Structure 1
Amino acid sequence: MTDGDVSAAIETYFARFRLAVLASGAHVDDAMVADLRAHVVDRVGGTGSLADVTGVLAELGTPQALAIEVAAAGPPDDGTSRRTGIRSHGRLLGVPYDLRAPSSGREARRWWDPLDRHILVPKSWGIGWSVNVGALAVRTGAVRPDDEDVPFGAAPPRTVAATLAAPVAVLAAVATLAAVTWRRLPPTVPTRWSLSGEVADHGRRGSTVLGLLGLAAVPTAMAASVHARRSPALDRVAASAESLLLATTALSVLAQTVHTTRGRSGVWPLWLGRGASAALPFALLVAVSRVGRTAEQRRDLSTLSMNGPAA
């Protein structure tokens, strides 16, 4: 394989990347492309083969997937609107805010960034902080910050796609519980409880049940949309995890409502649900990360065996 073949593979990739960026409407300058190309060339080295180039480019993802990430990152400026002069993201009195259009890419990087040691990070949209599950996983020893070159990038496509089954299953459980118990629920149902289990607020049966169904269904549908767009693996897995959290929360509240209306005391369904809504997304993200790490190790061993030991 000649150097020309290697260079042609790199140039073809970035030509397709530029076309994908233009199609997405994102902004990219020559310096950004030059930096990315230099990264690839540096990783491949002066004696790299076409297989080496293919491996490095695979870590970046397809040109289309990389273009989506660039589009999600937004324009490379200080975040100030040219029309209003107001920054679209930053801090106000020490509290972070981000008023840019919601992006699955930004949301995913907030959810899972093991290289960032901060557990509390600015929200990808809105005011305040959200939890970086990646940092939490590192703190608990579930993963290491350098386990994967690209988060979930080496995980098998079937594994990434299968993560959507988790929130869909919980959504089905919410719908089933609502259908089975609907007729036995009174017109007014409890919606909020104190720590001791006393009912603190009530709501109408219809609006309460429909609201909980929406809490489970809407995020799951949005996650399905992220999967359907063939977004980067990180975006898809994070969307599945976030919708799983919200669907589990909806299921726990509905279960507590049914529990209370049957005259039973305690709020154990609610507390059990809160624990599950935290544990299940955490387990999902960690599991896919470990699958990705194993796949990367196998790929590296395969590459080493094909190239032979270094001289």
Structure 2
Amino acid sequence: MSTNFYFRRDLGFGWHTVVQMVDLATRLFDGEFHSLPSCRPNLLKKLRLMALRAPRHDSAVSVFVVRHPGEIALLGYVPEFFSKPQRRVLWIIESHQTTWLPHKRTLDQFDTVVFTQRYDTPFYENLLGKRALWLGSGSDVLALGSAGSDRPIDVQRVGRQPAEWDDDERTRVACESRALRFCGRPPFIQEPEQQQRTLLENHYGRAKYCVAHSNLVSPAVNTHPTKEYITARWTDALAAGSTVAGVPPWSDIDLIDWPGALLPFDRIDLEHNVEALAEAVAAWDPTQPLRNHLHALQRLDWRWRLAQLAEHLDLDPAPLRLELAQLTDRIAALEASL
């Protein structure tokens, strides 16, 4: 059975972890990757998705990965969506944007709709029934994660920050005043796989603490104003053994709630936060990276998500089966070392 994966590759730094996940899924399902168009969907395409009935058949599967519900209309530009009999999977990364969902007639084109935030389970199951499938956030823990205790960086800045944390030079001064070694925003690399490897190996994997805050205290034009959620900043940092410091997205931490995964701040106040980091670094346990990496292998590796998807679709791709065995062996080896 052929499996096709669709996603955009022109999205820049913040989406490299999803590009890498789709590439991994394509390889592990022994599938084929297709780029989605980057144009702005027009009304005609939206109406076409809602009005035309796409043919179905069990001989092929296509997985359409979109950033948010507003991108679903891009599928109107994919000729194979309507011409090729197949099962269709819609995977919405920012599924918390439920008010952006199209008409239910459009969603009825899909045999499975994947959503990311567990707290939206009642909404999606009420809307779609058994066609709704929760697959949480993840990371390529097996291939890119690390458990080493050699951590020369005390504090690593990660991605978007609230105003008090946004000036790396100011943060560096505050950290150095408390003898903390600070590393600012990592450099941008255009190629997604190289970017992910550099981030996890040269930054997250060398840091005791990575700083990331809930979108509710670090808002931006593209974040949700009332729903909070973890992103790759949390999953990738933990995969690489680092602890995440900051104001946590409390309503979406069930995947990362093990002891030592988070150093919670109760407010955004640079001096207060750096003081908390100084105390934490002074008491830092060199076995914590191993524990973070182990829990990330158990909970966050994308292969678990892909295994759930394969089971839901009644598929058993050999490459995925092989790497699940490697993942299980790696977990057993780390458990035995503790």
Q: Which has the higher helix share?
A: 1
Q: TM-score range by the shorter chain?
A: under 0.3
- Give the TM-score normalised by structure 1: 0.25
Q: Which has the higher strand share?
A: 2
Structure with larger Rg: 1
- Give the TM-score normalised by structure 2: 0.23
